[in-house]
Structure 1
Amino acid sequence: TVREIGNAVGLASPSTVHAHLANLERAGLLKRDPTKPRALELSGRGRREPAKVDEPKRGLPLVGEIAAGGPLLAEDNIEEHLVLPEMLQRGGADFLLRVKGDSMIEAGILDGDIVVVRREQTAQNGDIVVALAGADETTDEATIKRFFRDNGRVRLQPENSALEPIYADHVEIIGKVTGVFRAL
């Protein structure tokens, strides 16, 4: 009933509920059956199954820390496995890294956040990547930055206007960041 709908959504006035139902009907999100006065059917572009947030897909290895500041060697050992909801793994997920530093704050990646990384060896301009960067392979250190190729040269751009980009002689893309999460 209209009164039950009102109680469920916290509206006391049946006329307010009727107004909202009429708006949903006009928007094509709700259908009424004229032969059944109390029958309502969800329809149109808004109809879809709710996301299942509570169904974890699989555990991903948390592989240590990654610099979001000056490069810091990522530890190659697995600290633990974290189970993520499927919705955080939709962009692809192979491993996790804990962010250390503040160079990506303008991209919403903060010190202490955990980034979800999909292994990939190539990147497009503007991608946020995990990369090994240095003068050569022996001096490479891991970092997270936005990737750009400028006139044949790789620029690893921090997302913090107070910091300068990194132009390294050797850059190896480890993967792309596909997600980020943090504990409150």
Structure 2
Amino acid sequence: MYEDLNQKEMEILFFIKKIIETQGFSPTVREICKGVGLKSPSSVHGYLERLEAKGYIEKSAMKNRTVIIKNQDSDMMLAKKQTVDIPIIGRVAAGSPIFASENIEDTFPIPTSLTENKDLFMLKVFGDSMINIGILDGDYVLIEKRSTAKNGDIVLALIDDSATIKRFFKEEKNYRLQPENDNMDPIITNNLEILGHVIGLYRDLI
């Protein structure tokens, strides 16, 4: 078994397997570089292409981090039950429900341990209103569907058919959605819908 792999290909394959088993999703190219002692991301891309050509892995065209171990031997196969795909919501179209099919861009695999008793989805971030807490333009935030919030929670709120991520505060006569950006003013409103709470963040590192 693995007779068609050289030493470095096997090292990368087993490193990917180890990371998938421990964190539920595959490593980035830079993580592979560090893990197997390579300096060039282009070298890793070359090894991944060869592993894919030999049928050991499958890379997603949509997600840089997603690699699936394809070898069918039990010691190398990632069990489907270890992960579950959750929807990735892109830019929300005005006037359409946020979970409408036209708003779902893709899916993302996360460990089943994170989804226990939770209804989760991911949302792509547009803009820099939350940069003070490290949520950047182009990031993906992991959101748990909820309809209520307490002061200080980071929420996804719907206002006039527009979804926004802000810190939530209920004041005496209105709601305040506070950005985490010193150059932006809060949104003051009497009418909003809480869609969920931000509970995690994913960022491509390559």
TM-score normalized by structure 2? Answer: 0.54
**Match runs of 1:136-155 below 5 Å:** 139-155=160-176
**Could you report, residue by residue, the CA deviation over 1:102-158 in whole angstroms, capped at 9, with x for unpaired residues?**
00011111000001111110001111000111xxxxx33110100001114100000
> Where do 5+ consecutive residues of structure 1 fail to align?
1-50, 67-72, 134-138
What is the number of equivalent residue pairs in this alignment? Answer: 123
On the 8 A contact 1:88/1:179 being kept in 2, the answer is no
Q: 1:113 to 1:92 in 2, by over 3 A?
A: farther
1:54 aligns with 2:80: no
> Where do 5+ consecutive residues of structure 2 fail to align?
1-20, 26-81
Q: Which structure: greater strand fraction?
A: 1
**Could you report, residue by residue, the CA deviation over 1:33-88 in whole angstroms, capped at 9, with x for unpaired residues?**
xxxxxxxxxxxxxxxxxx9313642000001136xxxxxx9573211111023566
Report how far residue 93 of structure 1 moved: 4.8
Tell me the residue number matched to 1:126: 152
Distance in structure 2 (CA, Å) of the matches to 1:181 and 1:161: 23
Alpha-carbon RMSD: 2.5
1:115 aligns with 2:85: no
Percent identical: 44
Distance in structure 1 (CA, Å) of the matches to 2:150 and 2:126: 24
1:104 aligned partner, one-letter code: M
**Match runs of 1:1-184 below 5 Å:** 52-54=22-24, 56-65=82-91, 76=100, 77-86=103-112, 89=115, 92-133=118-159, 139-184=160-205
Q: 1:110 to 1:89 in 2, by over 3 A?
A: farther
Tell me the residue number matched to 2:74: none
Q: 1:114 to 1:88 in 2, by over 3 A?
A: farther
Report how far residue 168 of structure 1 moved: 1.7
Q: Which structure: greater helix fraction?
A: 2
